[in-house]
Amino acid sequence: MAVDQETFVQLKDAISRFVRERLVPNEDRIENEDDIPAEILREMREIGLYGLSIPEEYGGIGLSMSQEAEIVFELGQTSLAFRSAVGTNIGIGSQGIVIDGTEEQKKYWLPKLAEGMTASFALTEPEVGSDAASVKTVAVRDGDDYLITGTKRYITNAVRAGVFTVMARSEPDKKGADGISSFIVPADTPGITLGKIDKKMGQRGTKTCDVIFDKCRVPASSIIGGKPGMGFRTAMKVLDRGRLHISALSCGMAERLIRDALAYAADRKQFGAPIVSFQLVQAMLADSRTEAMAAWALVRDSARKFDAREPTSMEAACCKLFATEMVGRVADRAVQIHGGAGYMAEYKVERFYRDVRLLRIYEGTTQIQQIVIARNMLKQLQG
């Protein structure tokens, strides 16, 4: 799946222009209102951002992973809340269906998601985070249906969702990963309630909350792929792609941070000279530039392998580990270069510093990436 290069250049142009002209000027507004105004969400729908990774035959754009990475890099040029609003549709919310869904599920859901019905991904629970295979939410068979009961935590876009992908334990006799199925659950299914909106460190405008399922009835046909017990595997495939996506986002955000830091350093004068002329400031800029380029090179290479259908679980974990930690350091230096101004809400780097902190935590923490990488290395050693 990929779009021809000539068309892709146009798509990318259209998006970078939209980001520059419509999203960047609204950054302060979403920070102040802690929400994305409905009209901007509508514009984001109209321009087609929700369907980027959905195949063209199901109404999407059908970008390859390499192309998605480039587009997400562009979305990284502005507050991460915008990316988050469409992120679940591009990534974790839709990809389960794209990768493992039945033809019927694809035909029914994907065009809706491409058009902008928000899809949320519900895996995490109050007692289930990094150890995702220990999902406690249950799906109890009842005739041709299942009744889902349990609480999901920190679910991005739950308040905007038209549909949830829910991981629940459907095979009570199977422990761990093999007992989990992923269900497609319309958001208006009776038995779903939403908790209070979470108050977060950053990414204001991004909405997360608990999603509580109480004997929520869904037909057996809503299991992704139609086969119970495959849900965890589906989730892990989704996360492989998602990790490349988050990595590309980190690289984009690093670019913006470096640009802002460089502009500030060129403008700000101390000791009678622009601070950018001081070698210690230059070192911070140079380190950031180097690390950002290294991360981007890694992401592009891994995305290319992903598109070539080479195994990329380890590569995706390496990307997420390096790129998200990289952008943390770049943000930290950007604040440092701004001095006191970097601690002030008036300057964007203060906000981006908080925004990027999340990237090292969700879709697998840094530690989980390290575990995945080392496990792959051991597997290779054992042959």
Partner 1 sequence: MKVLVAVKRVVDYNVKVRVKADGTGVDLANVKMSMNPFDEIGVEEAVRLKEAGKATEVIVVSIGPAQAQETLRTALAMGADRGILIKTDAEVQPLAVAKLLKAVCDAEQPGLVITGKQAIDDDSNQTGQMLAALWGRPQATFANKLFIEGDKAKVVREIDGGLQTVEIDLPAVLTTDLRLNEPRYASLPNIMKAKKKPIDEKTPESLGVDIASRLKVLKVAEPPKRVAGVKVPDVATLVQKLKTEAGVI
Interaction site with partner 1 (CB under 8 A): 3-4, 6-7, 9-11, 13-15, 17-18, 20, 22, 43, 46-49, 51-52, 56, 59, 61
Contact between residue 173 and residue 130 where contact means Cβ atoms under 8 Å apart: no
Q: HSE on the CB side for 318, CA within 13 Å?
A: 20
**Alpha-helix runs per DSSP H in the chain:** 5-18, 27-33, 38-47, 65-75, 80-90, 92-100, 103-115, 231-267, 279-307, 313-338, 348-357, 366-382
At CA 159, angle to CA 163 and CA 215, rounded to 5? 60
User: Is there a catalytic annotation at residue 363?
Assistant: yes
Rounded to a whole number of angstroms, the minimum distance from the CB of residue 47 to partner 1 is 5
Rounded to a whole number of angstroms, the minimum distance from the CB of residue 96 to ligand FAD is 12
Residues 182 to 201: which contact ligand FAD by CB under 6 A? Answer: 200
Report d(CA 18, CA 209) in Å as an integer.
29
Rounded to a whole number of angstroms, the minimum distance from the CB of residue 203 to partner 1 is 24
Q: Which of partner 1, ligand FAD, none does 215 bind, CB closer than 5 to 8 A by kind?
A: none
105 lines the binding site for ligand FAD (CB under 6 A): no
Q: Check residue 215 and give left, alpha or beta (phi > 0: left; psi -120 to 50: alpha).
A: left
Q: How far is CA 354 from the centre of its chain?
A: 16
Contact between residue 209 and residue 197 where contact means Cβ atoms under 8 Å apart: yes
User: Which CB, 263 or 283, lies closer to partner 1?
Assistant: 263
Output the six-digit token pair for 128.
């289930």
User: Which CB, 19 or 335, lies closer to partner 1?
Assistant: 19
User: Which CB, 280 or 378, lies closer to ligand FAD?
Assistant: 378
Residues 208 to 247: which contact ligand FAD by CB under 6 A? Answer: 208
User: Taking every pair of C-alpha atoms in the chain, what is the biggest distance, in angstroms?
Assistant: 79
Which candidate in 74, 125, 255, 363 is catalytic? 363
362 lines the binding site for ligand FAD (CB under 6 A): yes
Q: Which of ligand FAD, partner 1, none does 362 bind, CB closer than 5 to 8 A by kind?
A: ligand FAD
Give CA torsion, residues 368, 157, 250, 114, to 10 deg.
110
Residues 237 to 296: which contact ligand FAD by CB under 6 A? Answer: none
Report d(CA 324, CA 342) in Å as an integer.
20
Tell me the site size for ligand FAD, rule CB under 6 A. Answer: 19
Q: Which of 18, 154, 213, 232 binds ligand FAD (CB under 6 A)?
A: 154
Report d(CA 342, CA 204) in Å as an integer.
18
Q: Which of ligand FAD, partner 1, none does 90 bind, CB closer than 5 to 8 A by kind?
A: none
367 lines the binding site for ligand FAD (CB under 6 A): yes
Output the six-digit token pair for 176.
């761990």
Rounded to a whole number of angstroms, the minimum distance from the CB of residue 75 to partner 1 is 13
Contact between residue 358 and residue 203 where contact means Cβ atoms under 8 Å apart: yes
Rounded to a whole number of angstroms, the minimum distance from the CB of residue 260 to partner 1 is 17
Q: Which of 53, 118, 124, 324 binds ligand FAD (CB under 6 A)?
A: 124
Q: Could you give the 3-state DSSP secondary structure of residue 217?
A: strand
- Give the binding site for ligand FAD (CB under 6 A): 121-124, 129-130, 154-156, 200, 208, 358, 361-363, 365, 367-368, 371
Q: Show which residues are catalytic.
A: 363
